[in-house]
Structures are given as structure tokens and as C-alpha cells.
Amino acid sequence: MRVLIFGAGALGCVVGGFLKRAGVEVSLVGREEMISAIQKEGLFISGIWGNHHIKGFESSTHIVEEWKDKFDLVVLAVKSYDTEEAMQSICPILREDTLVCSYQNGLGNVEKIAEYVGMSRTIPARVIFGSRVIKPGFVQVTVIAEPTALGRFEGGPEEGTVKEIVKLMDGAGIPTIYHENIKGLIWAKVAYNCALNPLSALLDVPYGKLLDTEETIQIMKEVITELYAVAMGKNIPMIVPTPEAYIDHLFNVLIPPTAQHYASMREDLKLGRRTEIDALNGAIWRLGEELGIECPTNRYLAYLVRAKEKLNLSV
């Protein structure tokens, strides 16, 4: 199988590196600093999955015309706000049967990809391992909560086709499973991110501290209650069936092991980068409006993060 990793950042490099190490033909597209370092010295991966040095990538900072009709699979690992631009770049070189896997956070990515290639060629993923760029050419796998899950939305690729990719990734050393309810898994991760990320970023505290005040506890409860109302309106098969059960799970099961963890959104704000708030709380607010469901807490959190982005960018 020939695979294109579009978005060779922390996650993309880990996926591309492990696939290449397993003998898959992998091409990378990423930013200049990262691609230049990989071309000169190769890719170094460290962390909880061991230390690896992988060379021999075909790589570029942009789509290469000679790649036309080459790839069986594209792993899209860009930020949610870059999905459309990425697909516009990729589509001219794709075959009519090339699959695209959304290896991303938030809501709306799968549907946006499907606008370009059709749902029958679009594979959703719930990614829940963490990685970071140490410096160009060096990435580190920091944590894994559960295996990456791949699946299919209605009208998606054949189950057997998705399971072949699951086998490929899992066999390469990236823990990966097939899940029948991938949409429910994605929404569960979005619930976690919506409740924790903006508060951690805006208040500059780790997740555990959000359980220390009545105010943050109430905000998290409201975020989840609104999200579940929207999910019910959209007939999403949630993994945890009720908002009350999810809130209990969040407070007593999910937050304690990650109590010292800060949201990556916090780093985005500190570095003056755009966040993915529009694919998280902003998406819940937008979908709620479409359904006639009020989501004031998600709306105001989205407002605050957007305001912080603009203030940081204007400095």
C-alpha cells in the first residue's frame, strides 16, 4: 500500500514513521522546517513506543504533480480549520479509489472530506494518543489512553476495506482497532475536549484544577448538557447514554489520570496560533442553532477563545 501523510506534524510523523518502519511506502507533506530536517537526517521518534530512526521518506512541503494516481490511502493529519484547503490541494492527484482517513480532532472533518471524495472513500478515526514535536525531525509519543479507532459512517467504505487499514496500522505498531460506533466515539472525545480544553487554556490550569471550584464544575456540566441535547437532536448514538452519566464518568474516571495535563489549546494561545475551538464548542453551538437548541455556555466559551486568539494575534 502506498500512503500519503498530509500534515507531517507530531501525529502525522508518528503514523508515517511507524508505517514506513513496517515496510509501507510512505510520502510526507509538511512544513518547511520539519521536511527539511527529515530530508537531511531522517525522522527520529522517541517516547512510550520506543526509540526509532527512520530514513528514506519521499517528502515535500507541497503536493508533487508526479504523485498523481500514486496513493492508495491519504492520512489527513492537519488542523480542522485547514481541512478544506488540504483537500483542494490533494484532490488533483487522487485516483478514483483513493481513500482518505481523517486523523483529526473535532466535528465536521469527515463530512468536509466527503464533500470532495464522497463518503464511500472517507474513513473517520478517533485518535487518542498524544505526541509532540521536540524539534524539527524529532517527535515524541507521550501518552495513549486507548487504541486509535477507525470505522465507517453511513455510506462509507466497505467494513472489510477499513479493517484492512486497521490491520496495517496496528501491525505497524500504532495500536488501532475497528469500532462499529465510530461516530459515538468521536462525539465522546469531543465532549471531553469541549468540557476541558477551553477552560484549561483560558484559566491557564491543568485539568485537575477544574474540579477545584464550583464555577468550573458548573461550566463543565453545562457544556456537556448542551452537547448531549445537540447529539440527541442529531440522533448520535452516544457511548455513554446520558449527560449525567457522562459527567460522572468525566469527573471520576477521565480527569483524575490526566489531572496534571494542560490542553494543547493553551499552548496554541500562548504561541499566538489559531485554535480548533470552531470544531469543538463552536461546532456544538453552530449545530445547536441549526436544530433550534440553545447552547449559551458553548457559545460563550467559543467567543472567549476567539477573542483571545484575536488579541494575541494583534500584539
Residues with catalytic roles: 189
Of 306, 310, 302, 305, nearest in space to 284 by CA: 302
**C-alpha span between 67 and 219 (Å, rounded):** 48
Please answer whether residues 90 and 68 qualify as being in contact, where contact means their C-beta atoms are separated by less than 8 angstroms. Answer: no
Q: Is the dihedral of CA 14, 28, 104, 99 positive or negative?
A: negative
**C-alpha span between 94 and 198 (Å, rounded):** 36
**C-alpha span between 117 and 134 (Å, rounded):** 34
Within a 10 A sphere around the Cβ of 54, how many other Cβ atoms?
18
Q: What is the DSSP letter of 136?
A: T
Q: What is the DSSP letter of 43?
A: E
Can you tell me whether residue 160 is helix, strand or coil?
helix
Q: Which triple of cell numbers denotes residue 268?
A: 496554541
Please answer whether residues 36 and 102 qualify as being in contact, where contact means their C-beta atoms are separated by less than 8 angstroms. Answer: no
**C-alpha span between 210 and 207 (Å, rounded):** 6
**C-alpha span between 283 and 295 (Å, rounded):** 10
Please answer whether residues 260 and 208 qualify as being in contact, where contact means their C-beta atoms are separated by less than 8 angstroms. Answer: yes
Can you tell me whether residue 123 is helix, strand or coil?
strand
